[in-house]
Amino acid sequence: MGLIAPIKDLRSEKQLFVARVILSSVISIILLGIVIVRLVQLQILDHEQFAEQSQGNRIRIEAVPPTRGLIFDRNGRVLAENLPAYQLELIPEQIPDVDDTLSRLARIGLIKEEDITRFNALAQSGPRFKPVTLRFHLTDDEIARFAVQRPRFPGVDLQPRLVRHYPDGELIAHAIGYVGALSTTDLQRLDRAAYAGTSHTGKTGVEHFNEDLLHGDVGYQQVVTNALGRQVPIETRDAAANLPKRVSPAPGANLHLSLDLNVQRVAYEQMAGRKGAVVAIDPNNGEILALVSMPSFNPNAFATGMSPSDYSALQGNEDRPLFNRAVLGTYPPGSTIKPMLSLAALEVGATNLTRRSVCFGWYSLPGSTHRYRDWQPGGHGEVDLHDAIEQSCDVYFYEISRDIGIDTMHQYLTQFGLGSDTGLDMAGEADGLVPSREWKRQAFRERADQVWFPGETIIASIGQGYMLATPLQLANAVAALSIRGQRYRPHLVAAFEDSVNGRRTIIAPEPLSRVDIDKPFYWDNILNAMHGVLQSPTGTARAAGLDAPYDMAGKSGTAQVFTVAQDEEYNEEEIEERLRDHALFVSFAPLEEPEIAVAVIVENGSSGSRIAAPIARAVMDQYLGYSDVEL
């Protein structure tokens, strides 16, 4: 019987165990070495780098918005300022039920019911420790109402802020414009870094066009935060000492406008209850003295926050208070172009200073039975060019228009700035239109519609048909008339001022090309005829000018809203108000050394001489110092 092998080999097992211990020890030593090497790298070699990154994670840079520049009129009166105000803010993480809190705020009249959904969405969209602004500006009564009930609203509080304020509200709304909350479209257009921390931007008018000057440069401050990004207080003096210094924002520049607030106020009050516009210009440099569009709106409502329903109601108003008629409204200029057309006719020989015509109250083209009517049904009798301007005889201009031709009309009227934007320092100006044969060929697709007809020249001679102009263009044109063809680019900003050191930069007048009519006696005759419009016993607007203490000149106009049939009479009393003729008037004063030129349009006002001329007179009285009105 053979030997039996042992069940356990103790020696082999011992050798295997020792080998495993050695291998484990080697691996552990290697791993420990790796950890030690990594610790050395992190704690010694890369200490400075990671310490800096740690400080960066602990400290967050917060933008400090700049103070917006102020806006003044030509006499230093404030048109736009920044006032301290309290805004209502909500911090979502401190409120158990945001929807209930918002509902209770609505019940006490601090927010509107319709805004609850929007505010709820805002509260959910960002970090819950970030405040959500519910109201940008609370009245004293609202502040008191909230203060009494503050214990019922944990997580809701009042915070002091600067809010844009327009002391004169509707009076300057269309000229100055307004600021509003930044929108997605604004953020796409603007530099986000430059607007960090800023909640509002200029939307229209001077506020929008001069945004770069008014906004200023953003600053920053560094705050200590925890791992969640929430700001925490600085507990030690050493921690505060280690923070980098705060960089203060640079405030925006102050703007000094050419607007005269007193003249603006008179124009606004004269237009009360009407629709239309008034523009006044200094002919000697292009400075805008007044720019009024009616009806107007309260720009403070945009600066302090407007609900969607309020904005929709304002935008849906059939009288269009948000529409700036002074620079965007285009109207047939009517007879206000007759002085300019007269200069063109004299220059090209279509008439002369002695030519006389007989006005029977209508005119027909040769071979046509269609009658182009004069505004005076019985006619004006025998008239020359001076009489035709002073009495606004349509028939005289019907006759000479055939010899002038539409292309020559276009050539000279565009020299006065009609048919294109004036270059005013305000965005969105309309072009208007002075038609020509070439324009019609480009404007219409059908060949039959591209033909220019003689009858279209006839109606263009009294500023009707396709012809369109803005009130600003008409004011600029009569300004050029008043100083015999010299033109300047209109502008609202007269100077801007560094709000820190007070250094002021003056905006120099920008001359434009002169009107190409050199004979002084042509200008003399036309301007004297315009003087007769207001201060001659036979002038169409004599009621507005005969008692004036200074010499003035002007031209009335009427623009049809709809066409009256050949066999019908225009009866103002039987026509719906919105279908009545527009009333226009352009004027300047004093006659010899003009200081102010004015254009007025009253929508559906029917009579330029009766309705628009007194408004122009009141504006000129105020600027020239002859007004009895205390402002």
Residues designated catalytic: 335
Phi-psi region of 169 (alpha: psi -120 to 50; beta: other; left: phi over 0): left
Strands 156-165, 78-90: parallel, antiparallel or unpaired by DSSP?
A: antiparallel
Residue ranges of the alpha helices (H) in 349-461?
385-390, 394-404, 406-415, 437-443, 454-460
User: Helices (H) and strands (E) in the chain — how many of each?
Assistant: 24, 22
Task: Give the residue from 392, 409, 399 showing the smallest Cα distance to 364.
Answer: 399
d(CA 552, CA 617): 9
Q: CA of 47: how far to CAs of 33, 37, 43, 225, in Å? A: 19, 14, 5, 21
Q: CA of 460: how far to CAs of 52, 354, 394, 397, 400, in Å? A: 76, 24, 11, 10, 12
Q: CA of 540: how far to CAs of 11, 140, 272, 530, 557, in Å? A: 134, 54, 24, 10, 10
Contact (CB, 8 A) for 560 and 581:
yes
d(CA 602, CA 256): 29
d(CA 327, CA 471): 7
Helix axes 471-482, 338-348, angle to 10 degrees: 50
Spell out a b/e string for 146-179, using b for 16 or more CB atoms within 10 Å of the CB, else e: beeeeeebeebbbeebebbbbebebbbbbbbbbb
DSSP structural state of residue 468? B
Query: What is the secondary structure of 546-587 as a DSSP string?
Result: TT-SS--EEEEEEE-SSPPPTT----GGGS-GGGSPEEEEEE
Contact (CB, 8 A) for 477 and 340:
yes
Helix axes 520-535, 338-348, angle to 10 degrees: 150
Phi, psi of 170 (to 5 degrees): -60, -25
Helix axes 338-348, 394-404, angle to 10 degrees: 40
Task: Give the residue from 287, 294, 333 showing the smallest Cα distance to 599.
Answer: 333
SS (H, E, C) 197-241: CCCEEECCHHHHHCHHHHHCECEEEEEEECCCCCECCCCCHHHHH
